[in-house]
Structure formats: C-alpha cells, structure tokens
Amino acid sequence: MKTYKQLKLYVILFITVSALFVSCLADEGNYDYKDINEVEFGGIDPKYTIYRFEDLSITPELNFTIDSNETEGRYNYEWYILANGSSKLISTERNLSAQVTAVPGLHDIFYVVKDTETEIEWQYNFDIEIITSTYEGWLVLNDTNEGPKLDMISEISNTENLVLFDILAGSDLNLEGDAGFVNTYTPNFRQYAVYVSSSITGTTRVDADTWEWTPGLHLRTEFLSEQPDNMEATAIHQLQAGSGQAFCIVDNNIYYTDPTSRILYNNPVNKTEVGVTFEASNYVATNGKVIYDNTNKKFQYLSGSAPNYNSYDMPAPLPWDKKFEWDNGDDLLYMETNDFNGNNASNFAIVKTPDAKYFVYTFRSTTQTGAYDLTNAPEIDQASLFAVSPAYGYIFYAVGGKVYQYNIFDNVNDLVIDKGAEEITLLKFNNFENDRFVPKYKTYQNMLIVGAYDGSEGALEFYDVPSANNDITLNARYEGFGKIKSVDYRERF
C-alpha cells in the first residue's frame, strides 16, 4: 500500500515530465536545418583493363550540390588501389594519372574526396583488371641450342594471340640441361603455381604473374626433409581441380602434399602396409589414386588417411564384371584421367602384355569398365606418345612423324597426321581446372595438341577433333620454337 508521501512524489514526477514534453512540442521548428554539401561522381567507368606498368588516366566529373565552383584548396583528393589485401595510395591529384605497378589480377580502386571545412568525405570505387602480355595463354617448354626455354602463346585478347619467346629471360632462373615439363595448378585457394623443370636445374616454381624467381621457390623447399638443391621431379599430378592435393614423382617414388592442410611432401607413398617400397611408374590415375608398380608389374591403389597413404592390390572384380587382370605382368606404356563420361570420371591405361599384345584398359576408380585390343593397330609397337580424347575416348598415338586415331568403341583406326620426316615430339589433350566455368577452356580441352620438329625448328599445332570418326582439322599453328617437350595453359578465373 502506497503512502501519502509516495503518491505526492509520483504526482510531482508526472507533472514535471508532462511539462518537458509540452515544452518540446512547443519548441518544434525553432531550429534551422541546413543541407550539407554532397558530391555526385561521373566520368569514371565501372571497370578498366590495363597492362601492368602502364599509366592509368581518369578525369572524373565532380558535381557538388552546394559548392558548385569546387573552391580551390577546400578539397583533398586521394586515389587508393586495394590489391592482395593491402591498400596503397597512388595519387593525391583531382585527376588521376599514375603508373599501375600492382600485380596482375582484378583489384579495387577507391577515389576519396574530402571537404576540409566540414571534414566530410565521399568515396567512389571501381574495378581495375591489371594484365600483362603474359597474363594468360599456352606455356611451351622446349629444348634449343642455348638450353631449355620457356616460351608462351599469349592470349592478349579473345581474338588475338602473340608468340613470346624466352619469357624467363628477365628473371634470375637459368634453365640448364634437358627440358623436362611445365605444369600449372592451384596448390591452395590463394595461390596459382607454375612449375618448370630441367635436368640440371631441377624442378622449381616461378611467380605465375611476374615470372620472377628466387631459390626459395625450388621444389625441395616443399619437402619436410632436406633435399638436393637441384631436385628434379619427373611429373606433378594434381588430384582434382581446385584442390591443393598433389603427387609429385621423384626417382620413381611418389610423394603427397596438401598445402591447404599444411602437409608437405615427406615419405614415399608407393609402399605396402609393412613398409616395402617398389618402383612406381611416372603415371597416376587420379580417379581412385591408382598407380602402377613397375617392380611387380601390377596396378595398385593408394588408401589411408593423408598423408599416411599405403599401396594396396586392386580389388578383384566380380566374375561377370572382369575385363582384364590387374596383375598380369603388363608393361604400362601410358595412363591418364580425363573428363570422358563426366568430370575427371574415366581412367585410361595403355599396356603391353607379356605375350606382346597391346590393350587399352578403362576403369573408374578401381572398377573395371572395359578392355580393348590395340594389337592390330598400325605400328602400335613403335608408338612413342599417347593421348586420349576427353570428349570421345579416342586413342591417339604418334609414330615418327605420323599420328593415328583409334576409336576403341568402333574398332576404327585412321592415320590423321603425316608429317613425313618431321618428328612428333608432343601429343596431348590439356586438362583445365575451370573448364566448367569458362567456355573457351572447354573448347581448348577437347583440342588435340601436337608438337612437331623438323630438325631445326619446332611448331605447335591445335586440332579440332570431331565425332563419328570424321577427319580432324587444323585449328591453329604457331612456329619458331625449339624441340617442344611440354605444354600447359596458364589459366585465369
């Protein structure tokens, strides 16, 4: 029960609050409200594309809602570029004219206008894509009289290609010995890698944007244990597009890495459960992590918790599914995984059996899907290079200056290229990480790539491969190379 004093206090508080409220109502409209000066930006495109080290010039249109004359000295201007997580001031002038030195890629630019009297800032941002003449295109590793050279067929636009020779000339990397391979893939989500290898220099990364090199980029630095300075891999196999997981093969041993999980190359994985190692083939079928045991002449698959993989015998197929023997003493001539029947869905292995017959084995992971006799294919016993069409599953093989196409499903074999005395030095279809998202990559992936050498000069050719056993057709040819040994595409996405 409230007392008289409490009631009196409540009444006083009510009267006070009511008086304040009425006072506020009575005072409404007694203040002067002023519009602040605003800036409307114009004359700036939403995106600019420019070559690195060129000048970017922009003359913006600034419309001030109050100070229409843009009083001199009242405003400050700043242009910032945001690249790789850091912001850099590139100009303090009203109109931009500045050299662009940021690394190639898609970045943001911020234009900030500040009223020094009111301390109010206005900001406008837009995109800039910085490219180089080596921004995207085909990397071509070849042997020359001066040693291995890395050249490039640069795609400087969707309609124009430019052949650039010796793109490592400005770096500190000097390739020596015999050319090995060039390989590109994404070892983690923030980095794109280009590896290049030669017999004396060994295997190393180079900066995928500037082509600069330091000893810290050598493959040996990616191993947990100490390795030789000129450590040379014979192949690097990425397990799947967009994944940092990869195998590299050194001296017939297979090593595993996963940079996203901070797993470095360490112990060989071509070993049994009890730790017995064997000589591994240079090939890996990434669908199912299938490898080949050259010592015991049989297919194996890798299993276990990364990075502690072991090698196991392939599971025996059911009698009605059996197409071939996993361990019948074959010599493995070639093996790859491609997009035939889906994204990285099919494995192809070309073998020579102990009784001198030739077969193509097809399988998904460890499940057999077919065995096709190549024994009667023309000159198959002299084949030096192989490739498999990811679109149609056709087998291509090179003999001297000739290339044959074999449709294993129709048992049809055709001579599709004959260069006479020239030597075919490269035969491949290029796998792309982003062929599902970039239409031109899908087109490129289905092209047959041929390197030819006439004894003094090499040429690189791209062929369209149609369906239904129709003739392949030359799409593009580039000349002026040495003896081409390896080709890969530097993607952008």
Q: Which helix (H) or strand (E) holds 459?
A: strand 458-464
- Whether 128 shows a pLDDT value over 70: the answer reads yes
Q: Which helix (H) or strand (E) holds 4?
A: helix 4-27
* Long-range CB contacts for residues 411-417, cutoff 8 Å, separation at least 24: 411/372, 412/469, 413/377, 413/378, 414/469, 414/471, 415/378, 416/463, 416/471, 416/472, 417/450, 417/463, 417/472
What pLDDT, in 10s, does the model give residues 408-421?
Answer: 999 999 999 999 99
- The answer to whether 217 and 208 are in contact (CB under 8 A) is no
Q: Is 449 exposed, middle or buried (0-12, 13-18, 19+ CB in 10 A)?
A: buried
91 vs 61, 131, 193, CA distance in Å?
17, 21, 32
According to the model, what pLDDT value does residue 205 have?
Answer: 95
Q: Is the residue at 108 inside a domain?
A: yes
Q: How confident is the model at residue 21 (pLDDT cuts 50, 70, 90)?
A: very low
Per-residue tokens: 354? 């102990």
Backbone region of residue 202 per phi and psi (left: phi > 0; alpha: psi in -120 to 50; beta: other values) = left
Which residue's structure tokens are 């494995």?
Answer: 347
Q: What is the pTM of this model?
A: 0.81
According to the model, what pLDDT value does residue 24 have?
Answer: 46
According to the model, what pLDDT value does residue 10 have?
Answer: 41
Angle at the Cα of 155 from the Cα atoms of 151 and 161, rounded to 5 degrees: 80
Per-residue tokens: 40? 């409307």
- Whether 190 shows a pLDDT value over 70: the answer reads no
- Whether 171 shows a pLDDT value over 70: the answer reads yes
Q: Is the residue at 443 inside a domain?
A: yes
Number of domains observed in the structure of the chain: 2
**pLDDT: which is higher, 132 or 296:** 296
- Whether 32 shows a pLDDT value over 60: the answer reads no
Q: How would DSSP label each residue in 99-124?
A: E--SPSEEEEEEEEEEETTTTEEEEE
According to the model, what pLDDT value does residue 33 have?
Answer: 55
Phi, psi dihedrals of residue 268, rounded to the nearest 5°: -60, 145
Burial code of 295-308, b = ≥16 C-beta within 10 A, e = fewer? eeebbbbbeeeebe
Q: How confident is the model at residue 356 (pLDDT cuts 50, 70, 90)?
A: very high
**pLDDT: which is higher, 261 or 391:** 391
150 beta partners: 141
Which residue's structure tokens are 């040996």?
Answer: 220
Which is it for strands 47-51 and 120-131: parallel, antiparallel or unpaired?
parallel
Query: What is the C-alpha separation between 109 and 163, in angstroms, rounded?
Result: 32
Q: Is 336 exposed, middle or buried (0-12, 13-18, 19+ CB in 10 A)?
A: buried
What pLDDT, in 10s, does the model give residues 82-106?
Answer: 987 889 999 999 999 998 888 888 9
- Whether 12 shows a pLDDT value over 50: the answer reads no
Q: What is the mean pLDDT of residues 211-219?
A: 94
Cis peptide before 307 (omega within 30 of 0): yes
Q: Is the residue at 177 inside a domain?
A: no
Q: Is the residue at 20 inside a domain?
A: no
Residue 79 belongs to domain with CATH number: 2.60.40.10
Q: What is the mean pLDDT of residues 30-37?
A: 60
Q: Is the residue at 186 inside a domain?
A: no
Query: What is the C-alpha separation between 183 and 203, in angstroms, rounded?
Result: 10
Amino acid symbol at 104: P
Q: Which of 131, 163, 189 is the last residue of a domain?
A: 131
Least confident among 94-103, 134-143, 277-286:
94-103
Q: What is the mean pLDDT of residues 386-407?
A: 97
Query: What is the C-alpha separation between 174 and 264, in angstroms, rounded?
Result: 26
According to the model, what pLDDT value does residue 6 have?
Answer: 39
Residue ranges making up the domain that contains 121: 39-131
77 beta partners: 113
According to the model, what pLDDT value does residue 236 have?
Answer: 95
Judged by DSSP in three states, 71 sits in coil
- Whether 22 shows a pLDDT value over 50: the answer reads no
Q: What is the mean pLDDT of residues 378-395?
A: 97
Q: How far apart are the first and last CA of the chain?
A: 77
Query: What is the C-alpha separation between 299 and 312, in angstroms, rounded?
Result: 9
89 beta partners: 80
Judged by DSSP in three states, 379 sits in coil
CA 351 to chain CA centroid, nearest Å: 30
Residues 6+ apart with CB under 8 A from 252: 270, 279, 280, 281, 282, 294
Q: What is the mean pLDDT of residues 392-418?
A: 96
According to the model, what pLDDT value does residue 387 have?
Answer: 98
What pLDDT, in 10s, does the model give residues 44-63?
Answer: 999 999 988 889 999 999 98
Q: How confident is the model at residue 253 (pLDDT cuts 50, 70, 90)?
A: very high
Residues 6+ apart with CB under 8 A from 481: 140, 142, 151, 451, 457, 458, 459, 460
Q: Which of 96, 131, 166 is the last residue of a domain?
A: 131
Q: What is the mean pLDDT of the chain?
A: 89
According to the model, what pLDDT value does residue 18 have?
Answer: 47
Strand order from edge to edge, sheet including 75-83: 47-51, 120-131, 105-115, 75-83, 86-91
- The answer to whether 179 and 198 are in contact (CB under 8 A) is yes
Which is it for strands 412-418 and 179-188: parallel, antiparallel or unpaired?
unpaired
Q: What is the mean pLDDT of residues 253-279?
A: 92
240 vs 86, 220, 249, 271, 340, CA distance in Å?
31, 23, 17, 23, 15
Least confident among 38-42, 141-145, 189-193:
189-193
Q: What is the mean pLDDT of residues 314-328?
A: 94
260-264, 273-277, 355-359 — which one is most confidently predicted on average?
Answer: 355-359
Q: Which of 80, 101, 131 is the last residue of a domain?
A: 131
Smallest CA-to-CA distance from 94 within 51, 53, 39 is with: 39
What pLDDT, in 10s, does the model give residues 286-297?
Answer: 999 999 999 999
Q: Is the residue at 341 inside a domain?
A: no
Amino acid symbol at 322: K
- The answer to whether 484 and 450 are in contact (CB under 8 A) is no
Per-residue tokens: 278? 């064997």
According to the model, what pLDDT value does residue 305 have?
Answer: 84
Q: What is the mean pLDDT of residues 362-376?
A: 96
According to the model, what pLDDT value does residue 64 have?
Answer: 84
Query: What is the C-alpha separation between 194 and 204, in angstroms, rounded?
Result: 8
According to the model, what pLDDT value does residue 35 have?
Answer: 66
According to the model, what pLDDT value does residue 4 have?
Answer: 37
Which is it for strands 61-64 and 298-303: parallel, antiparallel or unpaired?
unpaired
Query: What is the C-alpha separation between 319 and 94, in angstroms, rounded?
Result: 79
